[in-house]
């Protein structure tokens, strides 16, 4: 997928992203007073969920998360650290947000490239990039029994979409994989971090009825 020299770098960055995602999942679990199993499941589901859904959908089974021990050890570690030292992790929020943005950027780029490598065309491949980047957070919120925050104005998926589009078009133009991935990653991370810093949010529809949403 990537030139051999770059493989290790991509994998290390990818695992950093998994680690950051897993921390965010584990923190939600601790705040919900989940037990150790719940915290570890949330760590794993958040760190690996997006990639697993992508792999199931493109037919890459067993998913990468099950064939390389690192992909199980990293979220396990993130979960245990958060379970034991959640007050410290909580205070490192700036770092978590930064690594989370790194994960977002990497996941959308890597997911798009992997999907293109499985003979998907541009539009579905971009969609798989977004699924890789945003899927883990959605699974986390489903398991934690709350509305996915990525649907509630948090500007998260749109930077991932932009990164996936840049990556996908770059690959289609024949620029290899490393340059498009780098460009997509930079677009997604920059946009995401600007959104966090400036409090940008995604638009909601105008004139929605006021009062309680229908919550039967």
Residue 59 or residue 199: which is nearer to its own copies going by CB?
A: 59
- Choose, by CB under 8 A, the member of 83, 99, 107, 191 that binds its own copies: 83
- Pull the structure tokens for residue 175: 């620029």
Contact (CB, 8 A) for 57 and 131:
yes
Residue 41 or residue 178: which is nearer to its own copies going by CB?
A: 41
CA angle 171, 11, 156 (to 5 degrees): 65
157 near its own copies (CB under 8 A) = yes
59 near its own copies (CB under 8 A) = yes
Q: How far apart are CB 182 and its own copies at their closest, in Å?
A: 24
DSSP-derived secondary structure letter, 201? B
**Subset of 166-185 contacting its own copies (CB under 8 A):** none
Cis peptide before 96 (omega within 30 of 0): no
Q: How far apart are CA 121 and CA 4, in angstroms?
A: 24
Q: How far apart are CB 28 and its own copies at their closest, in Å?
A: 8
Total number of residues that touch its own copies (CB under 8 A): 68
Q: How far apart are CA 32 and CA 28, in angstroms?
A: 6
Q: How far apart are CA 106 and CA 14, in angstroms?
A: 6
CA 188 centroid distance within chain: 11
- Choose, by CB under 8 A, the member of 2, 16, 32, 186 that binds its own copies: 32
216 near its own copies (CB under 8 A) = yes
List 201's β-bridge partners, or say none.
Answer: 154
77 near its own copies (CB under 8 A) = no
Residues that bind its own copies (CB under 8 A): 29-39, 41-42, 52, 56-59, 61-63, 65-67, 69, 72, 82-84, 86-87, 118, 120-121, 123-124, 127-128, 138, 142-154, 156-158, 161, 201-205, 207-209, 213-216
């Amino acid at each position: 997928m990537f030139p051999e020299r770059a493989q290790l770098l991509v994998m290390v960055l990818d695992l950093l992203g998994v680690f950051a995602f897993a921390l965010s999942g584990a923190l939600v679990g601790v705040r919900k007073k989940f037990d150790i199993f719940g915290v570890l499941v949330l760590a794993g589901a958040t760190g690996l969920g997006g990639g697993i859904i992508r792999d199931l959908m493109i037919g890459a089974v067993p998913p990468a998360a099950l064939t390389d021990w690192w992909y199980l050890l990293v979220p396990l570690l993130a979960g245990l650290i958060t379970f034991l030292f959640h007050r410290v992790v909580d205070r490192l929020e700036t770092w978590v947000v930064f690594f989370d943005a790194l994960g977002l950027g990497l996941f959308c780029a890597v997911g798009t490239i992997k999907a293109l490598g499985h003979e998907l065309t541009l539009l579905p491949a971009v969609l798989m990039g977004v699924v890789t980047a945003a899927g883990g957070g959605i699974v986390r919120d489903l398991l934690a029994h709350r509305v996915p925050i990525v649907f509630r104005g948090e500007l998260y998926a749109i930077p991932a979409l932009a990164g996936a589009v840049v990556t996908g078009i770059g690959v289609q133009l024949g620029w290899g994989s490393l340059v498009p991935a780098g460009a997509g990653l930079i677009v997604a991370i920059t946009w995401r971090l600007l959104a966090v810093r400036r409090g940008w949010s995604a638009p909601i529809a105008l004139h929605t009825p006021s009062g309680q949403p229908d919550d039967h």
